[in-house]
Amino acid sequence: MAPPSSFNQSSKTVCVMDASGRLGSALVQRLLHRGYTVHAAVQNHGEILMQSLEGVAGDHKKLRVFHSDHLDYHSIMDALKGCSGLFYCFEPPPDQPTYDELMAEEEVRAAHNVLEACAQTESIDKVVFTSSVTAVIWRDARNSMLSDFDETHWSDINLCRKFKLWHALAKTLAEKTAWALAMDRGVNMVSINGGLLMGSDLTITNPYLKGAAEMYEDGVFVTVDLRLIVDAHVCVFEDTSAYGRYLCFNQVITSNKDALKLAHMLLPPSKSSPPPSLEDTKVYQQRISNNKLNKLMVGF
């Protein structure tokens, strides 16, 4: 998995914010392996980050850990100092892990602060902004669309509010805020709109899963493995031709078999076995495309 020959990451210092969660900590580990010096900005003590780095010999000398609050502009600036790039993924504060309308507002303010800080940091060349597929797929008349969902689509904010799809609302508003600031301030930004991140810590309370039945029936219920989404972040950062938004997923749940498999992961056995149905063999048509990312990552 060699980087482009013209790209010399050994001289690069990048920031990962927030490095407290699974995606952020995995990004830190991958970037260290690839020769980067990493500023890991964490909200808490970064336990997940430190666990992920156990056994990574020699990389700690290229790692600096910063305590950074999304709503504290100065702490963001401190973490970005001297960095040529930022990988930004919002993690809810440890004292409020659930999504509601207030969390959506906080995520928007955080995105605004971070992009403004990047605009004021002269060394920043590129921002990779982690968003979500939920910022793409929620809109009226989804079934009547002539084309598949792709990175050109946006979720409808009023629909998200109406049905209390707080995760989708937060991701849509935060990403739109980031894009508006990036364009206004001349910040080079690329976004990764990931599917449901799979892993042993996934539970039924994950806010992405609000409206899961509708996503399933619409053919847009997508999941992504940690390795793929980490690779996608690194690829769009290192590839100078990367631009705009990229949908990132490696499975579309369209069959009852796949849906049951996911249900077994999320629920105890007594609750994950629905009664037999005549539609058990039904397969819904996939209505979402990640061709743009696939083309970019062919040689990665």
Active site residue 171: yes
* Residue at token pair 């805020």: 177
- Give 87's strand partners: 16, 128
Task: Give the Cα separation of 39 and 300 in Å (integer).
Answer: 24
Q: Which amino acid is at 209?
A: L
Q: Phi and psi of 129, rounded to 5°?
A: -105, 120
Task: Spell out the alpha helix ranges (H) of the chain.
Answer: 22-33, 47-52, 73-80, 101-120, 157-162, 166-185, 212-218, 226-238, 256-266, 291-296
The pair phi, psi for residue 20, each rounded to 5°, is -80, -30
30-36 long-range contacts (CB < 8 A, ≥24 apart) are: 30/230, 30/231, 30/234, 31/87, 31/234, 32/56, 32/59, 32/62, 32/63, 33/59, 34/3, 34/9, 34/234, 35/9, 35/10, 36/9, 36/10, 36/12, 36/62
Catalytic one of 12, 126, 171, 210: 171
Under DSSP, the state recorded for 283 is B
What's the CA gap between 92 and 98, in Å, rounded? 7
State residue 126 phi and psi, 5-degree precision.
Answer: -155, 145
Mind telling me the catalytic residues?
171
